[in-house]
Amino acid sequence: MKPQAFDYARPDNAEEAIALLADSGEDARILAGGQSLMAVLNLRLAQPSVLIDISRVPDLNFIRNDGKALAIGAAATQGSVEWRDALAAEVPLLAQAFPHISHFQIRNRGTVCGSIAHADPSAELPLVLLALGGEVVLRSRRGRRTVAAQDFFQGMLMTARAADELVEEARYPLARPGTGYAFEEFSGRHGDFAVCAVAAAVDAGGIRLAVGGVADRPRLATFPRLAGSDLDAALNDFAWELGAKDDHHASAKFRRQLVRHLGRTAIDKAST
């Protein structure tokens, strides 16, 4: 028995979940897949007083293609998105990113919205959401609001979510014709946290490149359709802008090199 004691609530539906969240105060935590939260609890890095388990709430367990985006509900597991037959056609960047996201056994339980709410700077799902210009739907007793990925991720494990808000839905824009997508990652061991991960979307108008694992949050750059040394120079500027730091996984210098190299690789792949 590792975690500190907590009250456990398992609501029936989303409305009950947000009511519990509003009533429980800042010490409450939403438990969805628990693939980040349970580790944090087992290591006693957090001691919430209440866990609100939404993993079995039927009206939060959905994946909907609404013609514009793939809308993924708070209780939908990463595995249920990953094993979707149409995923590579719907959101190719997600399909490319999934094998890099931790491991099969973790994806089977972890949720997409949980990873977004956790906002680890090296996590792939926030990175892909940012690269595609996706959105996060937040719901509380006060109502719903939709926040662009660009505004949602605010720093290391920090987001625009207020304490009484539930990340109800993540909206990944569907593939657009004429746009190429590519995902590249470097990590110490397959499935480990990314030392650097990049996601690129390239169309006739320009290049969107999002980088994770380097700054305190996933960061996005947009370039015109540069090539050759112009592109290398733009990538080098971006790599320096990210303010990479030395840590025990990699040096800042190595991270900048990864941004340049993986960025170039992803842009080239997405351009063909």
Partner 1 sequence: MKRIFYAKNEVVRIGLVLNGQQRSATCEPRTLLSDFLRQDLGATGTHVGCEHGVCGACTVKIDGVAQRACMTLAVQVEGREIETVEGLNRGPHCDQSGLSDLQQAFRRNHALQCGFCTAGILMSCADYLQRKPDPSETEVREMLSGHLCRCTGYTNIVKAVLETAAERLGRPYGAALAPDQPGHAGTGAAEQAGLVDA
Residue of 30, 34, 128, 267 interacting with partner 1 (CB under 8 A)? 34
The reply to whether 8 sits near partner 1 by the rule CB under 8 A is yes
Q: What single DSSP character describes residue 226?
A: -
Nearer residue to partner 1 within complex by CB, 77 or 159: 77
DSSP secondary structure string for all residues of 118-148: HT-TT-HHHHHHHHTT-EEEEEETTEEEEEE
The reply to whether 157 sits near partner 1 by the rule CB under 8 A is no
By C-alpha distance, which of 84, 159, 92, 88 is closest to 120?
A: 159
Residue 97 beta carbon to partner 1: minimum distance, rounded to whole angstroms = 13
Tokens of 190: 């397959």
Compute how many residues bind partner 1; rule: CB under 8 A.
39
Any contact of residue 268 with partner 1 (CB under 8 A)?
no
d(CA 118, CA 34): 10
Of 190, 227, 233, 247, the one binding partner 1 by CB under 8 A: 190
Contact between 53 and partner 1 per CB under 8 A? yes
**Considering the complex, what minimum distance in angstroms separates the CB of residue 134 from partner 1?**
25
Select from 2-10, 132-140, 207-215, 240-248 the region that touches partner 1 (CB under 8 A). Answer: 2-10
Residues 15, 128: Cα–Cα separation, whole Å: 29
* Beta pairing, strands 50-53 & 28-31: parallel
Return residues touching partner 1 (CB under 8 A): 1-12, 16, 31, 34-35, 38-39, 41-43, 49, 51, 53, 55-56, 79, 83, 99, 102-106, 108-109, 189-191
